[in-house]
Chains A and B, each alone.
Chain A
């Protein structure tokens, strides 16, 4: 197969775009696409301060590389979760993130949860009794909370995550199967922020996972290939495989699903279910919460401190940067 632009040997064929490209043209094409979507969905500008959520995986490292290539001002934030899984998952993903930042002269902030707050994510899951034995619920709660706090403390204009098209359609499928109107109304390439919440953007929302993997392989970006041990058997992975079966039979299915969803939303299909939850500052930490009084994060650490004496008395006052 030949590159559509120069006729040299292609390294990737993207059936959904009817486009095959050689290494050189692919590495130029992908950042152009990302820039197009950053502008189209008004995610952020070249003068804004971007906080990139870095996990050490292909999407976040690949996107960080692309943002740098495009001349955006993006610092990274890595959150140490303390997940081992017998293979040192957190240690390895942190080492890869740090090595990447060093190699490319980028600033990486690291917040290690155990070091700051005295317990790891798996410990939290057990002690707080949230999420039916799976740490994903406390993991998500901590990541959302800490990203927002770091963004505010460090005066960042926007938090950027590496969610790709496959992540978005997997969530979309789950939400349409459940007709979860509120979630559907909220799923978007960019969430504006305000009232103490930082803006959030997903520049890869229309980029296939396959395209990000190819980008990292071709750029020689070393990313963590092993999965988080807790991702095994997740519904996300299940939906992704189902969607890839459809994509194999009918190229472009995933992209079409996502783009037509955004169009339907723009036309007002979900307007009536948009949730108008009022946020107010948590009594303890001041972060926005919909719960009355204290936020879920403060309440969670209070419960954990009853069992673990290593947890500081006022976790909300530990500074992050």
Chain B
């Protein structure tokens, strides 16, 4: 099966290609609301279908300390 690689901070997942980015994010256990999707360097909406061999970077949007 053809795969696509998702990276988030220092974690990485290999998932089957052909699903939407939103479904892929759900499979990683991350929340779609907590990340942005950058495919081969371009920001994308989460309905994009992930294709084999693509580099998908999930950019964390959550930050914050106590003050």
- Complex contact A213–B67 (CB within 8 A): no
Q: Is the CB of A234 within 8 A of B61?
A: no
A236 touches B66 (CB 8 A): yes
Q: Are the CB atoms of B33 and A210 closer together than 8 Å? A: yes
Task: Tell whether, in the assembled complex, residue B43 and residue A218 are in contact, meaning their CB atoms are under 8 Å apart.
Answer: yes
- Are the C-beta atoms of B64 and A217 separated by less than 8 Å? no
Known: A1-B45, A1-B47. A248 touches B32 (CB 8 A): yes
Q: Which residue of B lies closest to A211 (CB)?
A: B61
Interface on chain A toward B: helix, strand, loop, or mixed SS? helix
Tell whether, in the assembled complex, residue A227 and residue B63 are in contact, meaning their CB atoms are under 8 Å apart. Answer: yes
Inter-chain contact A209/B61, CB cutoff 8 Å: yes
- Decide yes or no whether B17 CB sits under 8 A from chain A: no
Of the listed stretches A5-13, A38-46, A66-74, A297-305, name the one at the interface; the rest are far from the partner chain.
A5-13
Report the bound CA distance from A11 to B38 in whole Å: 10
Q: Are B45 and A13 in contact (CB under 8 A)?
A: yes
Q: A231 near B63 (CB under 8 angstroms)? A: yes
Q: How far is the CA of A170 from the CA of B64 in the complex (A)?
A: 10
Which of A185-193, A239-247, A266-274, A312-320 forms contacts with chain B?
Answer: A239-247
Q: Are A248 and B31 in contact (CB under 8 A)?
A: yes
A159 to B42, CA, bound (A): 34
Residues on the A chain within 8 Å of B19, using CB: none
How many Cβ-Cβ contacts under 8 Å join chain A to chain B?
89
Interface residues of A in 117-161 (CB under 8 A from B): 134, 136-137, 139-140, 143
Contact flags (1/0) for A199-233 with B, using CB distance below 8 Å?
00000000001101110011000000101101100
Whole-angstrom CA separation of A230 from B59 in the bound complex: 20
Q: Is residue A166 within 8 Å, beta carbon to beta carbon, of the partner chain?
A: yes
Interface residues on B, range: 20 to 34
Is there a chain B Cβ closer than 8 Å to A109's Cβ? Answer: no
Of all chain A residues, which has the CB nearest B34? A244
State how many residues of chain A have any CB contact under 8 Å with chain B: 41
Asked if residues B67 and A12 are in contact (CB atoms below 8 Å), the reply is no
Answer whether residue A259 sits at the interface, using C-beta atoms and an 8 A cutoff: no
Chain B residues contacting A11 (CB-CB under 8 Å) are 42-45
Please measure, in the bound complex, the distance between the C-alpha atom of A210 and the C-alpha atom of B59, giving whole angstroms.
10
Chain A residue with minimal CB distance to B48? A1
B residues 42-66 in Cβ contact with A at 8 Å: 42-47, 59-66
Residues from chain A with Cβ under 8 Å of B62 in the complex: 166, 209, 237, 240-241, 244
- Residue B36 interfacial (CB < 8 Å): yes
**Least Cβ distance of B52 to chain A in Å?**
21
Residue A57, interface by CB 8 Å: yes
Q: Which of A218, A241, A244 has the most CB of B within 10 A?
A: A244
Task: Tell me, yes or no, whether A20 is within 8 Å of chain B by CB.
Answer: yes
Please give the distance in Å from B25's CB to the nearest CB on chain A: 10
Contact of B67 among A23, A140, A227, A240 (CB under 8 A): A140
**B64 x A241 contact (CB < 8 A):** no
Pairwise interchain contact B66-A136, C-beta atoms closer than 8 A = yes
Given the known interface contacts A244-B34, A247-B33, the answer about A234 and B43 at a Cβ–Cβ threshold of 8 Å is no
Tell me if A176 is interfacial: C-beta within 8 Å of chain B: no
Q: Which residue of B lies closest to A224 (CB)?
A: B63
B45 touches A12 (CB 8 A): yes
**In the assembled complex, A75 has its CB within 8 A of some CB on chain B:** no
| 10 nearest CB pairs, A to B | A140-B67, A231-B65, A136-B66, A244-B33, A213-B61, A236-B64, A1-B45, A210-B61, A13-B45, A11-B43
Contacts A12-B36, A136-B65, A213-B36 supplied; 4 other A-B pairs, CB < 8 Å: A11-B43, A166-B62, A231-B64, A244-B33
Please name 9 pairs of A and B residues whose Cβ atoms are closer than 8 Å in the assembled complex, sorted by A.
A11-B42, A11-B43, A11-B44, A137-B66, A139-B65, A140-B66, A166-B62, A167-B64, A170-B64
